Chains A and B, each alone.
Chain A
Amino acid sequence: MKFIICSYLLIVSGVTYFLIQDKELKESIQRGKDIYTDFCITCHQETGEGVENTFPPLAKSDYLMNNREASIKGVKYGQRGELIVNGVTYNNTMMPLGLENEEIVDVMNYVLNSWGNSGAKMVTIEEVTTILK
C-alpha cells in the first residue's frame, strides 16, 4: 500500500512538473509565433522552408539542430558568411534584428517546435543571456 501511495505521489508530481514546463513552453511558442511573423517570415517564409540558395530553411534544418548556440547567437547579433544547411551552401547576411532577450527565447522556442522540428530542450532566458558576441 505504501508503495502505491509513494509511486502515485511521484507520478502526480512528475506529471505536474511536466505540465507546468509544458505550459511555459506552449506560451513561449505562442509569443514566438508573433515575433516570427513580425521579423522572420519575409525571408524564412511561413512554413520555415526559406528560399533555396538564398535564405536557409529552418524547418528540419540540420544546422539549426546541431548548432543551437550559434543559431541563438545569429538571431541575437546577426549572421553573415557561409553556412551549410541540409547540404546546400548559403552565403548571405542576416542583420541584427534588435530583439530583446525574452523575444529571442520565444522565437527560438517557436522555431524549434514548428514545421516538423521537435525534441529540443526549451530555450531559456538564462541561456540567451549568457551567449555573447
Chain B
Amino acid sequence: MKNSIKVLYLFVVMTNLSCGQKADNGVNTPSETTFTAELIVDGLQVPWGMVFLPDGSMLISEKSGELILFKDGQKSTITNGPAVYNRGQGGLLDIELHPDYENTGWIYFSFASEEGEDKGGNTAVMRAKLIGNSLTNNEILYKASPNTTKGQHFGSRMEFDDQGYLYFSIGERGERDINPQDITRDCGKIYRIYDDGRIPEDNPFFNESNAKKAIYTYGNRNPQGMVKHPETGAIWIHEHGPQGGDEINIVKKGANYGWPVITYGINYSGTPITDITEMEGMEQPIHYWVPSIAPSGMTFVTSDKYPAWKGNLLVGSLAFQYLERLELNGNEVTYREKLMEDIGRVRNVRQGPDGFIYVAVEGKGIYKLVPLQ
C-alpha cells in the first residue's frame, strides 16, 4: 500500500516535471498605457506583409494581391506583382528584403499561386526588384505542389538568417494526415534555400531519395510568424494550433515538431485529435497558447525606444484582436501582456529601422507605437 502511494506520488511529480511549460498560462492587462498607437497608413484590408525600404518608404502587401508603396504619406500601387490565387487564407502574403538589399535590390514575396497542372493553388516564393512603380526581374524560387482547392494553411512567413539563408514556412494546406509528417511531400514544413533559390547541400534531407530537398523542419501546422533572434541568430517561429495549442518553436535542422501526432490543441468540434502532447524524437514548443490566440506576425524589440520592453517578443493575435507582449528568460516565456486591446485582427508586427514598432491591423491599417514621454 505504502509503495503504491510512493508510485502515485512519483507519477504526479514526473507528470508535472514533464510538462512543456508551467501551468499558469494567463495573460495580463497592463495597469497603465505607456504608448499611443498612431494610425499612419489607413484604408487597408488585410495588410499581410510589410518591409521598410532605405528611402523611408514602406512596401505593403494586401492579401487581395495589391502591392502598395507608402511614400511621403501617399499610397501608390505597384504593378507587375505576382498573379495570386485569392481563396480562403491564400493570396499575396509576406514580403522580405534581401539582407544586402542596398546592393542587390532583391525583394522576396510569398503568395498562393495557381502555377502547375492541378486545380487550386499552393504556396510560392518569388524574388523581384522594384524599379519605379513596378516589379521587374520576377523569378519564382519555390512553388509547393500539388495544388489544392482547400482554403487553409499556406504558412508563408519568410526570414533570412545571419549566414544569408532564406527560411520560409508552408502550412499543411488542410491535409494534416498526409503532409506534415512526410518529407517526400510539400506542406507542413519550414524550408531553407539560398537567396537565389538554390537548395543548400547541407540541408537535412538533401541526400534522402524522394525527399523535398528544401525542407529544413517538418511536422509543422501553419506557421505565420518568423523572426531571427537578435542575439543567438536562431530562427524563431510561431504556428497556429487547431482549437488551442498555438506554439512558439525554435527552428532546428531536421527537427520534427510533431503535428498532428502530438499537440496541445483539440479539434474545432471539441473532440480530441490525440491525447499525446509529447513523444521521443519530436520537439516540444518553448511556449503554447491555450486557448488559441491565432498568432500572426512576430518581432523582437531591440531598439531603445521602449526600454521596458527590450528583448521582449511581440506577437499579433487574430482571434482576440490585440498585440501580445511576451517577456522571456532565455527560451522561457515568463510573462504575457495584452497591448492595444480590441484594436482588430492583428496580422503583422515589425520593428522598423527607426526603432519604432509598426503593427498591421485588418480592416484598419498600420499603426506606429509612440512611447509617451
Which residues of A are interface residues toward B (Cβ below 8 A)?
A: 37-39, 41-42, 45-46, 51, 54, 80, 92-93, 95-99
- Docked Cα-Cα span, A42 to B87, in Å, equals 15
The interface of chain B, by Cβ under 8 A from chain A, is 45-46, 63-64, 85-88, 90, 150-152, 174, 268-270, 294, 319, 321, 344, 362-363
In the bound complex, do residue B268 and residue A37 qualify as a contact, i.e. CB atoms below 8 Å apart? yes
CB distance from B173 to the nearest CB of A (A): 11
Contact between A92 and B294, CB atoms less than 8 A apart:
no
Please classify the interface of chain B as helix (H, G, I), strand (E, B), loop, or mixed, using the class held by over half of its residues.
loop
Q: How far is the CB of B117 from chain A (nearest CB, A)?
A: 19
Asked if residues B321 and A54 are in contact (CB atoms below 8 Å), the reply is yes
Contact: A39 with B151, CB < 8 Å?
Answer: yes
In the assembled complex, how far is the CB of residue A43 from the closest CB belonging to chain B, in whole angstroms? Answer: 8
Q: With A38-B174, A45-B268 given, is the CB distance from A97 to B362 under 8 Å?
A: no
8 contacts between A and B (CB under 8 A): A38-B174, A41-B268, A46-B268, A80-B363, A96-B86, A97-B87, A98-B88, A98-B151
Q: A39 vs B152: C-alpha distance in the bound complex, in angstroms? A: 7
What is the CA–CA distance of A35 and B174 in the complex, to the nearest angstrom?
Answer: 12
B325 to chain A, nearest CB (A): 21
A89 to B86, CA, bound (A): 29
- B151 and A97 within 8 A (CB): yes
The answer to whether A93 and B362 have CB atoms under 8 Å apart is yes
Which partner residue on chain B sits nearest A51 by CB separation? Answer: B319
Please give the distance in Å from B314's CB to the nearest CB on chain A: 21
The CA-CA distance from A51 to B362 in the complex, in Å, is 17
Contacts of A42 in B (CB 8 A): 268, 294
Q: In the bound complex, how far is the Cα of B312 from the Cα of A69, in angstroms? A: 48
Contacts of B319 on A, CB cut-off 8 Å?
51
Distance, CA A80 to CA B363, complexed state (A): 8
Contacts of B269 in A (CB 8 A): 46
Distance A114 CA – B64 CA, assembled complex (angstroms): 31
A98/B87 in contact, CB under 8 A = yes
Please give, as numbers and ranges, the residues of chain A lying within 8 Å of B87 by CB-CB distance. Answer: 97-99
Give bound CA distance, A92 to B75, whole Å. Answer: 23
Cβ contacts under 8 Å, A41 to chain B: 268
Find out whether the CB atom of B152 lies under 8 angstroms from the CB atom of A38. Answer: yes
Residues of A within 8 Å of B151, CB to CB, are 38-39, 97-98
CB distance from B252 to the nearest CB of A (A): 29
- Given A38-B152, A92-B363, are A97 and B88 neighbors across the interface (CB < 8 Å)? yes
Q: How far is the CA of A107 from the CA of B45 in the complex (A)?
A: 24
Task: With CB as the reference atom, state the residue of chain B lying closest to A92.
Answer: B363
Decide: A95 near B46, CB < 8 A? Known: A38-B88, A39-B88.
yes
Contacts of A92 in B (CB 8 A): 344, 363
Instruction: For the complex of A and B, list the 8 residue pairs with the smallest distance between their C-beta atoms, beginning with the closest.
Output: A98-B87, A93-B363, A46-B268, A39-B151, A38-B151, A46-B269, A41-B268, A98-B86
CB distance from B49 to the nearest CB of A (A): 16
Chain B residue numbers with a CB within 8 Å of A98 are 85-88, 90, 151
Whose C-beta in chain B lies nearest to the C-beta of A45?
A: B268
User: Could you tell me the distance between the alpha carbons of A41 and B292 in the complex, rounded to whole angstroms?
Assistant: 14
Q: Which residues of A have CB within 8 Å of B344?
A: 92
* Also in contact, A95 and B45, with CB within 8 A (given A39-B151, A42-B294, A80-B363): yes
* Cβ-closest chain B residue relative to A103: B149
